[in-house]
Amino acid sequence: MKSEQHELYEYARRRIKQKKRVYFHFVLLFLAGIFLFIATKVFNFNQDAHWHIWLITAWLFLFILHFIKVFITDRFMDKNWEREQIDRLVALQEKKIAELSDQINEEPPTK
């Protein structure tokens, strides 16, 4: 029982760390976006190029990928999912090995 509790604790700790990183990434994106907007619009820093829009868009795309990984993909593809997939594949392999061994045992010996 102690091992299961430790595993649950480690899973919860890892998920909290992932979520904390996503929130930090969002705050950093938000503050950097505001800074880039102010630098371009208020201080007229290279205003004609619109480079800040491209930079914020690329960063937003990376944030969305990070968000999807943490809140969608990792939610259902955790260790339990991995174990189920491994058990299913091992069972398929054992079934094929048993079928091949039955075929070998059924064949008459060649003279």
Per-residue pLDDT of 20-72, as tens digits, reads 999 999 999 999 999 988 888 887 777 677 788 888 999 999 999 999 999 88
**pTM of the predicted model as reported, rounded to 2 decimal places:** 0.64
Question: Residues of 55-67 as b/e, b for ≥16 C-beta within 10 angstroms?
Answer: ebeebeeebeebe
pLDDT at position 7 is 81
Task: Report CA torsion sign: 60, 66, 67, 69.
Answer: positive
